[in-house]
Structure 1
Amino acid sequence: MIDVLVIGGGNAALCAALMAREAGASVMLLEGAPKIWRGGNSQHTRNLRCMHDAPQDVLVDAYPEEEYWQDLLKVTGGITNEKLARIVIRASSNCRDWMRCHGVHFQPSLSGALHVARTNAFFMGGGKALVNAYFRSAERLGIKIRYNAQVTDIELKGAEFVAAYIGEREVDGQRLPAERIQAKACVLAAGGFESNRAWLREAWGQNERGEWPSDNFLIRGTRFNTGVLLRRMQNLGADFIGDPTQAHMVAIDARAPLYDGGICTRIDCVSLGVVVNRDGERFYDEGEDFWPKRYAIWGRLVAGQPGQQAYSIIDQQALGRFMPPVFPGTKANSLEDLARQLKLPVTQFVKTIEQYNAACRVGTFDHTALDNCHTEGLTPAKTHWARPLVKPPFCAYPLKPGVTFTYLGLATDDTAAVHFNGEASPNLFVAGEMMAGNVLGKGYTAGIGMAIGTAFGRIAGVQAAAAAGFLTPSSTEPQHAAV
């Protein structure tokens, strides 16, 4: 019998598998995706938000615990478990050496991401390189890895894990039978339900305009997170936490692919211009805060607009101050022409921009600080980086909501145990997106998802090894394996 079974193939799952193996347990990892698509949403990431009290290698200045906590508190509106959040924050300060032991390399922040140079450590080669490094380390340590192995059912004895079932599937033209896999302990890290269109429709329902908003969502993350295991745990009576409509949802280019668009589809110039809906009207403060703290609210904002459609409008003054999108924008030398190209109501669009321009009170513009450029007498206001759009050619990027991962998940505690009626399972644990809702009730700040996955993946791995008889939960962290 396997000691520890890990279900999932992203950052949290890999951290759990590596920690359990370092503790001496035999480990099997089940990745539902084919090998070429392994890694879940982690393959689309690029950095980790890190607490540090002084400059550290790629991290400048300091980012202390309390500031990190306040940033998280602000974006979640207080909908977070402080105890678990602080575990994540503190763990982010000392995990990088362990990550380097398993082949992960870091680099200074990119020139278009200077806002997070102090707070976030960037992966050399991005999330794909991190995932590949972890898989290489797992293979060297003897972790058994199975691909195309989506778990469809869990067998329990009360709250105790007994076995997992892989459903029938077709791989490379061959029909494979269902399998039952027993283990002494199990870690669930199979992601949310963002790629389950039916579940999204169920969660979001129909709006007052008779639209089904989720029908217009793009899935910025992996196509393989369909929530099969999450739904099964719900049916088995596991304790859940979170709102099914809350998610890491970003305003992305409306021309992005339906699945796996990743980070390159994000539109990062929102704070440097204005955003209008298809009626040519603004609907939110584009300059509320630094983009890394605010980019993940814009998906929900766009989701609330007619047709779940919006447009980010800039002029030439914004160029060179944001990460350029993968698709070119629509350009025009006049506002009227831009509106016509976008098929927006010309009169209303021009009125919106002219009212904004007239309301701008330009002080000292500084896109790297919360500057004093703001609007007066305008609703909604723009509180920072407000400059009149007067330098053609004007440029527009079409926006739609892009879902990265959903927040509905399993309730847990500081041991990462799955709970049933308030009681912790003795040998079933959870990590990553399947429990992120404990920390992220709503909102997002750049790099926090990887921090949650790394912290609770490592905790779950240690706890699963302990449940299998290899460590006591109070033991110190196992020594780094030689890799």
Structure 2
Amino acid sequence: METTVPNHPTTAEHPAVDVLVIGGGNAALCAALMAHEAGASVLLLESAPRAWRGGNSAHTRNLRCMHDAPQDVLVDTYPEEEFWQDLLKVTGGLTNEHLARLVIRESATCRPWMRRHGVHFQPALAGTLHVARTNAFFMGGGKALVNAYYRSAERLGVQIRYESPVERIEIEQGRFVAAHCNGQRITAKACVLAAGGFESNREWLREAWGQNERGEWPSDNFLIRGTAYNKGVLLKHLLDDHGADRIGDPTQAHMVAIDARAPLFDGGICTRIDCVSLGVVVNREAERFYDEGEDFWPKRYAIWGRLVAQQPGQIGYSIIDSKAIGRFMPPVFPGVKADSLPELAQKLGLPVDTFMRTLNAYNAACRMGTFNHTALDNCHTEGVTPAKTHWARPIDTGPFYGYALKPGVTFTYLGLHTDDTAAVRFNNVPSRNLFVAGEMMAGNVLGKGYTAGVGMSIGTAFGRIAGTQAALASKQPQDFAKQSPLAFEKEATTPGVQNANA
């Protein structure tokens, strides 16, 4: 076990609180609210300015939810086993089933608690109806969700500090002692780490991805879909300086093919290109490289960032024709438009001869059945590699459209190994008062791949667990691990906030 880090000079000492929460997104806010409901005094440190608070959660839209019957905004059913099989498929088995099922079951019961803290839900909108059964959409999106949580936290008396990045923490024998932030040493009886991954740390991304066989540094061409404040400072500090148990591959991430014209940071969901399954995708050499119709888009959209990252120059091009218009959520920027395919290739800067050879081969290979973009239909290709297994229709009806794609990183999967108490582990021994939630532990459930809304499911479940456990640890540090993760929710005294188990 590590010993206390050397005592660096600080300018002030902050009076101890029961629970310190480091982070300002969904998981951190869930932890802060749950800790308060369990009777703890809470201080939350958000590294971003107030205007940029909420981390990547501000860019989200929905929460993947298990349900055994229709529920308000959710139609039909989405039982535990189907949710688990969806997760198992996208992760390729790189997931902890016990923790994954914990998240799945918690997703079935968390929404009443969310509503009591001001979150509102709405039915799926046009263009997202394919997830009306599996995902509950936030009214106003993720920004409205985090604003609701912040209002609730402020009303309840949770202390909140913005522009407060934590540089390091003190740990003694696996036990949290203090955090150092803006020249101040902040002590607490327990701590929750929910400060995000390292996706906005360009140097760490370069180190993780290295150089490819073409001599390129792929990560130099990555765009960051979310916050510029997730530098992974605490994650690296815990792993390198304190020897916390790690989980996950540093190159694995929620990585989406997004519009190449998106900004470096904070482009969010509106830069996603959702028409991939309705056409073909080619690289800068005008060649196809993967099955665009492999599965439903919400289950497969997050593989395309990594696929594009493996192409020359880390760029791809989504090509559709007029038959696809109106069948996908339009991105913020219009596509490049042309009246013919050769003209489209020229406008995109692609080799025209190769482009036409690729498109002609694909068109000739299409075997039309009954097209249905809401089902795994029987429209497929024959005699072309890669095959397109569903939704294969000839691209032959002008005008034609092309979207340049780059890898867009949402969040990284390298994180801290934990268990169903959300405790940080050192040499496989759980800490008595240091917990983790959100992106910093998502790799326990997501070894690779992604399915829409599951990041919010993980953050909500483990944020609630971590906050409850931290509050308990601040009162009964020797006994907390014996309790069930959500056993200590209590009825809040503030009007309008009720027992989450009610």
TM range (shorter): over 0.9
Report the counterpart of residue 479 of structure 1 in structure 2.
491
Distance 1:180 1:414 in 2: 30
SS at match of 1:245: coil
Distance 1:222 1:414 in 2: 28
How far the C-alpha of 1:476 sits from its partner, in A, is: 4.4
Aligned pair partner of 2:181 in 166, 179, 184 = 166
How far the C-alpha of 1:477 sits from its partner, in A, is: 2.7
Instruction: State whether residues 415 and 442 of structure 2, in contact with CA within 8 Å, keep that contact through their aligned partners in structure 1.
Output: yes
Report the counterpart of residue 196 of structure 1 in structure 2.
201
Report the counterpart of residue 4 of structure 2 in structure 1.
none
How far the C-alpha of 1:333 sits from its partner, in A, is: 1.0
Distance 2:348 2:139 in 1: 38
Distance 1:149 1:284 in 2: 43
User: Aligned letter for 2:262?
Assistant: A
Distance 2:491 2:237 in 1: 36
Instruction: State whether residues 37 and 489 of structure 2, in contact with CA within 8 Å, keep that contact through their aligned partners in structure 1.
Output: no
User: Aligned letter for 1:478?
Assistant: K
Aligned pair partner of 2:353 in 347, 356, 379 = 347
5+ long unaligned stretches in structure 2: 1-15, 497-502
Distance 1:316 1:478 in 2: 55
User: Aligned letter for 1:429?
Assistant: F
Instruction: State whether residues 468 and 488 of structure 2, in contact with CA within 8 Å, keep that contact through their aligned partners in structure 1.
Output: no
Instruction: State whether residues 187 and 428 of structure 1, in contact with CA within 8 Å, keep that contact through their aligned partners in structure 2.
Output: yes
5+ long unaligned stretches in structure 1: 168-177
Report the counterpart of residue 284 of structure 1 in structure 2.
290
Distance 2:30 2:387 in 1: 44
Cα deviation digits, residues 293-336 of structure 1 (max 9, x gap): 00000000000000000000000000110000100111111111
Alignment of 1:372 with 2:378, yes or no, is yes
Instruction: State whether residues 218 and 258 of structure 1, in contact with CA within 8 Å, keep that contact through their aligned partners in structure 2.
Output: yes
SS at match of 2:167: strand
User: Aligned letter for 1:249?
Assistant: M
TM-score (structure 1 length as normaliser): 0.97
Instruction: State whether residues 38 and 488 of structure 2, in contact with CA within 8 Å, keep that contact through their aligned partners in structure 1.
Output: no
Aligned pair partner of 2:229 in 224, 231, 234 = 224
User: Aligned letter for 1:437?
Assistant: G
Report the counterpart of residue 207 of structure 1 in structure 2.
212
How does 1:426-465 map onto structure 2 within 5 Å? 426-465=432-471
Distance 1:479 1:336 in 2: 66
How far the C-alpha of 1:280 sits from its partner, in A, is: 0.3
Report the counterpart of residue 37 of structure 2 in structure 1.
22
How does 1:307-386 map onto structure 2 within 5 Å? 307-386=313-392
Number of residue pairs the alignment of both structures matches:
473
Aligned pair partner of 2:265 in 259, 280, 291 = 259
Report the counterpart of residue 387 of structure 1 in structure 2.
393
Alignment of 1:104 with 2:89, yes or no, is no
TM-score (structure 2 length as normaliser): 0.93
Report the counterpart of residue 402 of structure 2 in structure 1.
396
SS at match of 1:460: helix
Cα deviation digits, residues 265-303 of structure 1 (max 9, x gap): 000000000000000000000000000000000000000
User: Aligned letter for 1:347?
Assistant: D
Alignment of 1:423 with 2:436, yes or no, is no
How does 1:52-71 map onto structure 2 within 5 Å? 52-71=67-86
Distance 2:383 2:454 in 1: 36
Cα deviation digits, residues 435-472 of structure 1 (max 9, x gap): 00000000000000000000000000000000011795
User: Aligned letter for 1:42?
Assistant: S
How far the C-alpha of 1:377 sits from its partner, in A, is: 1.1
Alignment of 1:42 with 2:48, yes or no, is no
Instruction: State whether residues 109 and 116 of structure 1, in contact with CA within 8 Å, keep that contact through their aligned partners in structure 2.
Output: yes
Distance 1:340 1:292 in 2: 31
Instruction: State whether residues 101 and 482 of structure 1, in contact with CA within 8 Å, keep that contact through their aligned partners in structure 2.
Output: no
Seq. identity, %:
77
